[in-house]
Amino acid sequence: MTTAADRNAAVVAAARAYFTAVDNGLRTGETAGILAVTTRRCSCRQMATFVRSIHAKGTVHGAGCEIKSVYLSGLRSDYAAVEIGVVMNPFRVANARGSTVMQGHEESGNFLVQMLPVASGWLIEGIDRV
């Protein structure tokens, strides 16, 4: 039998999984992890497109994100919400000659991650900056 603590932990883990996948994607260009934890309707899948686009431009230096805080803000049988504080690291994209073709500055913010239950756990349905 699943306890309330187990459900809470599963929801928080699912929300963390998205930002861990984003961190990995920004560093490596790999986007399967982002897509695996989100529903097809989630606008947060645009992050996978962004990751592919920056890696297509050249070599990425310094990219990534760090989770700074996690707060379970709502949990029902059909919905969950987690507020996550994240810092996006500054990055630079260099072409084959070493010239900077794109850069991003450090950015921090809080995001409300909304999730739906599925047979295998929880998938992200939406992410809003709060």
Q: CA separation (Å) from 43 to 46, 49, 103, 114, 125?
A: 6, 11, 23, 12, 8
Tens digit of each residue's pLDDT (9 = 90 or more) over 57-66: 999 999 999 9
- Assign domain 4-129 one CATH number from 1.10.3720.10, 3.40.50.300, 3.40.190.10, 3.10.450.50: 3.10.450.50
Q: For the range 117-122, what are the long-range contacts, defined as Cβ-Cβ under 8 Å and sequence gap of 24 or more?
A: 117/77, 117/78, 117/80, 121/10, 121/14, 122/10, 122/11, 122/14, 122/15, 122/80
**pLDDT bucket at 4, cuts 50 / 70 / 90:** confident
Q: Angle, nearest 10°, between helix axes 4-28 and 46-57?
A: 20
Element (DSSP H or E) covering residue 114: strand 107-118
Does the pLDDT value for residue 3 go beyond 90?
A: no
> What are the domain boundaries of the chain?
4-129
User: Mean of the pLDDT values across residues 89-96?
Assistant: 95
